[in-house]
């Protein structure tokens, strides 16, 4: 197992495995985020990033701008202030 992760009966127990790769775990975690006022913006951000990953290349720039203004800009409708400056910086170039 990767450093810091444990195995339980041979089953991977990392966050990625439980909450991203397993459909039921992902659904339950997303419902938890969306149902908690302090985490709702994080749940919405996750959903929007997944939608962004499915965008056509021609739509990506506009979608990225919407994501930045909604989630990464202080005062945005669902600002995710817990994200680091490096995570929210616009890409160079």
* Residue 12: strand pairing partners: 7
- CATH of residue 48's domain is 1.10.167.10
Count of structural domains within the chain = 1
> Does a structural domain hold residue 76?
yes
> Does a structural domain hold residue 75?
yes
Residue 21: phi, psi to the nearest 5?
-85, -25
Q: What is the rounded distance in angstroms from the CA atom of residue 37 to the CA atom of residue 18?
A: 22
Q: Using DSSP, how many helices (H) and how many strands (E) does the chain show?
A: 5, 2
> Does a structural domain hold residue 67?
yes
Range of the domain at 73: 15-88
> Does a structural domain hold residue 3?
no
> Does a structural domain hold residue 9?
no
Render pLDDT for 52-86 as a digit per residue (tens, 0 to 9). Answer: 999 999 999 999 999 999 999 888 789 998 888 88
Render pLDDT for 10-58 as a digit per residue (tens, 0 to 9). Answer: 667 899 999 999 999 999 999 999 999 999 999 999 999 999 999 999 9
> Does a structural domain hold residue 10?
no
* Residue 68: strand pairing partners: none
Let me know if 79 is exposed, middle or buried by CB neighbors in 10 A (0-12, 13-18, 19+). Answer: middle
């Amino acid at each position: 197992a990767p450093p810091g992760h444990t195995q339980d009966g041979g089953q991977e127990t990392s966050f990625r495995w439980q909450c991203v790769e397993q459909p039921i775990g992902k659904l339950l975690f997303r419902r938890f985020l969306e149902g908690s006022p302090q985490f709702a913006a994080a749940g919405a951000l996750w959903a929007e990033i997944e939608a962004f990953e499915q965008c056509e290349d021609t739509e990506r720039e506009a979608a990225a701008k919407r994501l930045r203004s909604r989630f990464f800009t202080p005062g945005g409708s669902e600002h995710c202030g817990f994200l680091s400056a490096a995570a929210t910086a616009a890409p160079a170039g």
